[in-house]
Amino acid sequence: MLYLLWSLPAIVVIGLVASGKADVLRAALAGTLVALGVALLAAPGHFLWAEASTAILRGAWIGWIVVPYILGGLLFWQIASRPGGAAPEDEAAPAGAGARRRLLFTACFLVGPFAESATGFGVGIIGTMALVRGVGVQTRYLLAFSLLSQTMILWGAMGSGVIVGAAFAGADATALALHSSLFVAALHVVWLPLFWRLAARAGVSAGWREHASEAAWIATGLALAIGATAWLGPEIALLAAYGPLIVLRFLVDERPHRQRLEDATRRILPFAALIGGLVLSRSIRGLRELLMEAGRLAPFPGAPAWSPLFHAGTWLVAGGIATALARGHGADLPREMKAAWKTGRLAVLTIILFSMMAEVLSVSGIAAALARGLSAALGPSAVMMTPFLAGTFGAITNSGNAANGLFMASQVTLATAAGLNLPAVVALQHISGLTMSMFSPVRMAIVCSLAGAPGQERLAYRMMLPFAAAALMVLFGAAVLIAAAII
């Protein structure tokens, strides 16, 4: 009975969202209040109002750390992606089957992930769809290809999910991103053949040479992203890796004439300046230390610190403002800021609430007690439930933060008690929630709305079912290997 009471916050969240009685924000608020009440009444450890206050404040701090990534990324992308101040137009249809295929691949696996890394929360779908429309595929395929922009979601929203997940696990964010990236590579091994099959059915087929070329581009992109993560950290890794890669792909595919090259250079200049500045700020040791220490705030031991001049979110905000002023659109800044807040406020408030709930469950000892009970009942095999538990919460809440907030502390305790590979278990927990959030109702609604097919979410789910099933197969296989102490 006590274990059921301790599980009540998770039950409340999933019950409210799955039943449609509340959106994710209200479910997060309800879950946090229930967690606080359960902890004060039946915590296995010492947990009174003083501990509760500290947990709530610490959770709010962890959530706040990622707010500039989200709002700054949205602001910068809105301004920088519209050189003339107008909404970006769909890509013109390329001539020839080969050109159509190359544009399709670039949109799904290069441009989409790059946009998602800068902003997060499904915004990469917009850039991908604008390009895929030019390929001329049926609506059902447009939905599926646009959703493939989410395949590098590990680095989405400037890696903010990694930073929050690492804080919950008491781990280093870069180490968590590197371990999780191995799962991303494994997922692409099964997703790429599914993309080939889908493209053939859509009438954009290719031969084995093009398949080999696409595999090489993805392998190169993953290698660069992983290397950049190790060198620069998870915040700007994908931007730094994929920015030059997209430019190279453009030059190879388009072989642009001088005028088009000049136009393209003007379009990418804000991105190049931002990425270049961020890379320098993290690779020049003296500059890095200066920016990290200036105004640094670290009110909670073990929680991420906030260095305003080093934080990539600050750079995104400054980059957006500078771009608007340089293009003579300074008067549009208030409107752009309101639009960024309108788009990102749900994510911001939800992350803060789930961070509070996670800290309450961790500090009160509830997370550890649940993990010990699960370990006693199932032993090392308990880890095999991770893809399904974390994946379910990721899919329902459109984010890995809810799953990490509810289960990450328990996973750490479980892995330690069972003698399992702790970094592997933490990475599995993190990537399971993130990956399955690709298939959330929110993202399905976004892609259907943008495609002019509202109410066609079931069609989108049918198209993406093979990708979701393949992802669960890979994640469950990894869980089995972890439980068997093979990895």
Inform me whether the pLDDT recorded for 334 exceeds 70: yes
pLDDT of residue 122: 63
CB contact set of 472 (below 8 Å; sequence gap of 6+): 387, 388, 391, 436
Per-residue pLDDT tens digits for 465-487: 999 999 999 999 999 999 998 98
Can you give the pLDDT at residue 376?
77
- Rounded mean pLDDT of 66-73? 85
Which residues make Cβ contacts (< 8 Å) with residue 160, sequence separation at least 6?
66, 69, 70, 120, 351
Quick one: pLDDT at residue 455?
78
Cα separation, 170 vs 363, in Å, equals 13
Task: Report, as an integer, the average pLDDT of 317-341.
Answer: 92
What pLDDT does 88 receive? 52
pLDDT band of residue 321 (cuts 50, 70, 90) is: very high
Average pLDDT over every residue of 186-200 = 98
Q: How confident is the model at residue 85 (pLDDT cuts 50, 70, 90)?
A: low
Residue 297: beta bridge partners? Answer: 306
Q: What is the pLDDT, as a whole number, of residue 95? A: 59
Residue 89: pLDDT above 60?
A: no
pLDDT at 314: 92
Domain definitions of the chain by residue range: 2-483
Provide the pLDDT for residue 285: 85
Task: Determine which of 181-185, 234-238, 403-407 has the lowest per-residue pLDDT on average.
Answer: 403-407
Highest mean pLDDT among 181-190, 346-355, 409-418: 181-190
| Rounded-to-integer distance, Cα 35 and Cα 176, Å | 26
193 vs 133: CA distance, rounded Å: 22
Residue-wise pLDDT tens digits, 202-214: 999 999 999 999 9
* Rounded mean pLDDT, 308-329: 91
What pLDDT shows up at residue 393? 82
pLDDT at 392 (0 to 100): 86
pTM of the model: 0.84
Cβ–Cβ contacts within 10 Å for residue 464, how many?
A: 22
| Residue 324 near residue 81 (C-beta atoms within 8 A) | no
Q: Yes or no: say if 107 and 65 are a contact pair by the CB < 8 Å rule.
A: no
pLDDT tens per residue across span 129-187: 888 988 889 999 999 999 999 999 899 887 888 998 998 898 999 999 999 999 999 99
Lowest average pLDDT, out of 141-155, 312-326, 373-387, 429-443, goes to 373-387
pLDDT of residue 424: 96
When the pLDDT of each residue in the chain is averaged and rounded to a whole number, the result is 88
Q: Which pLDDT does position 91 carry in this prediction?
A: 54
Contact 44, 366 (CB under 8 A): yes
Give me the mean pLDDT over the 1-22 stretch. 83
